[in-house]
Structure 1
Amino acid sequence: MDIDARKLAVLLAVHRAGGVLAAADVLHLTPSAVSQQIARLEGAVGVTVLDRQPRGAVLTQAGRVLAETAERIESELTDARKALAALQGEVTGTVVISAFKTVIRMLLVPLVHGLREQFPGLELLIREMDGEKAQQELRSGAVDLIILEAETPLGHRAARGTRDVPVLEEPWVVIMPAATPVPVSTADLEHLTWLGVDPDAAAHSATEQARRGLKATPPAHSYYDYDVALSLVSGGLGIAIVPALAVLGVLPDGVKAVSLPGLGTRRLIARHRTTRSEPRKEVLTVLDAIIASAAELDTNV
């Protein structure tokens, strides 16, 4: 029985994509070429590996055995490439980074593919978690980098054995229903309905500063998460202070974001461990890439 690893890779692509047509797109082959590879594999092993159905293709029991073999081969090849890259002095290894939604969406997701192309032996794993848990995971070694808002209690100072690095400084903006007259200063916000902010949220101090001296009505609704703030404003329940990253590309219909003098900025920091062996080379590589990407962001709204 002669099993060609390249044909196994085609079978694995069909399994992951859910059908021959979709696999052809992934592999940049014609559907006919994919079908031919599967047919030759079936001829070589003497069993049917695909159950072709109107809505796609499902692996037979034999097909699942071969697909699992293909996954092991793929994993072994990946490990071999990483090992060779390490021998050649390239950046290799796995870096686990914890962050929150706005940073993941605007900074980390676009970074993953670029790092993979530039450093094939480097793997970046993203974990969404709150600051307290992220700090615990950093201390335990489960996470290598965490992104924090400097204005939160956890972001005020680095814990022993860690170091903080500035990543981005972005403006706070006011979000309000689109029909609201455009303010030119915070004084114009006095007679508007404000949303409250959880005291542990970074936006709390920015909101308190913007409201200082205003005779605003005590808020009825409050938020911690910026997406919740957007939803409340979209529902006409008040205005809120959020960072620019929270609205870039996701501002709902009927909501506008306005920059005003005196609102200040949100500062994002990256925190990593500092020991005799850390930070590792790959961690510093990821950190440098994050800082470079942040510098290219246009945070004007």
Structure 2
Amino acid sequence: MDIDPRRLRILLAIARTGGVLAAADELGITPSAVSQQLNKLEGETGHALVVRTPRGSVLTPAGLAMAEAAEEIERALSVARARMEGGAELAGVVRVGGFTSFLRAMVIPRLPEWRALYPQLQVRIVEDDLPALMRLLRQRELDAVVVELDSATAAQRQLPAGMSEEPLLDEPWKLVVPSGVLLTTENVDLARLPLPWLGVEPSAANASVVGRLRQSTGAQVEIVHQYYDTLTALALVAAGEGAAVIPALALSGVAQDGVEVLDVPGLGTRRIVLRRFDRRRPLSTPVDTVARLMRESVAAFDALDVAPRSGS
């Protein structure tokens, strides 16, 4: 497979912006140029990479694989550029908003390392719910916000004008039930769970998953309680109060006493993205450096640290 790597930036722009027109605007070229380069890339790979839908462009499995390769190349070039420019000279304050599981696993443990690499760069963390974080981003009181989405419903979102979205991670949703409540953990029927669903704070991606599952299965399952923190959800599940859908990352390093964590077909994945304004700035700015550091942290994260019990 002989590929011109310069065309990968076209595919990456489509993946990040969600469409050919938006990618063209992002790259500062015409939409026809984007389409031409995409067609050539598909010819080089021998695979369809993008499927156009009424809501935008969606990457095929082959397209996702190529986009991941493009991100690796971009990451390597960013590291090389930072080394050449001298990391110690990079200075400024970057204010990043996000949700608990990502900040706890991907950002906070790396802060000492980032301080050592860039002594003049200060990363300030704000943890809050999505509506509050997006309000702060629009008011420019935050430089970037880490957002969680249900991948199955992600295409329904609309970004404010001038805002970009960069994928960071896709991870599986897990079904969490009280220990021993299911007679078998094989071929779990989500429409026949002998438990109510635990309610979750409405802006959380989990809420979209529960709504999607109730609609797709046609089951009129009761929703009880409402939680915000994963530890609260696990405590409620362990007490036999209901079942919950929780992302794998949120279970990393968390005690799972009294519950079973299951891989169940149909749950889908959680997509974690980075939202910010003004992506056309040079890659050597503080906010771009922090974005790169977060991508590297995601790449280095050991998914085996999450050890769910599988129903298969």
Separation (CA, whole Å) in 2 of partners of 1:168 and 1:275: 19
2:88–2:120: 8 Å Cα contact kept in structure 1? no
Q: Are the equivalent residues in 1 in contact too, given 2:143–2:287 (CA < 8 A)?
A: yes
| Distance in 1, Cα, partners of 2:128 & 2:96 | 10
- Show the counterpart of 2:44: none
1:186, 1:207 → 2: CA distance? 16
Residues 96-245 of structure 1 aligned to structure 2 (within 5 Å)? 96-151=95-150, 156-181=157-182, 182-187=184-189, 190-198=192-200, 199-211=202-214, 212-213=216-217, 215=219, 217-245=221-249
In structure 2, the CA distance between the partners of 1:234 and 1:98, relative to structure 1 (3 Å rule), is same
Q: Give the conservation status (yes or no) of the 8 Å contact 1:164–1:270.
A: yes
> Do 2:88 and 2:117's aligned partners in 1 also have CA atoms closer than 8 Å?
no
1:192–1:216: 8 Å Cα contact kept in structure 2? no
- Tell me if the contact between 1:194 and 1:216 (Cα under 8 Å) persists in the aligned partners: no
Task: Give the secondary-structure state (helix, strand or coil) at the position aligned to 1:179.
Answer: coil
The correspondence for 1:283, drawn from 278, 284, 287, is: 287
2:99–2:127 contact (8 Å) kept in structure 1: yes
1:92: which partner in 2?
91
* Structure-2 separation of matches of 1:87 and 1:215: 58
Q: 1:140: Cα distance to partner? A: 2.1
Structure 2: segments with no counterpart, 5+ residues: 1-84
The corresponding residue for 2:266 is: 262
Q: Is the 8 A contact 2:173 2:245 kept in 1?
A: yes
Distance in 2, matches of 1:262 and 1:180, equals 20
Closer, same or farther in 2 for the Cα pair 1:119/1:175, shift >3 Å? same
- Is 101-110 or 273-282 further displaced after alignment? 273-282
* Alpha-carbon distance between aligned partners in 2 of 1:279 and 1:141, rounded to the nearest angstrom: 19
In structure 2, what is the Cα distance between the partners aligned to 1:218 and 1:183?
A: 21
1:235, CA displacement in angstroms?
A: 1.5
Number of corresponding residues? 216
- Aligned-partner Cα distance in 1 for 2:139–2:193: 48
Name the TM-score, length of structure 1 as normaliser: 0.63
Post-superposition offset of 1:195: 2.0
RMSD between superposed Cα atoms in Å: 2.9
Partner SS state of residue 256, structure 2 = coil
Q: Structure 1: any 5+ residue segments left out of the alignment?
A: 1-85
SS in 2 for 1:169: strand
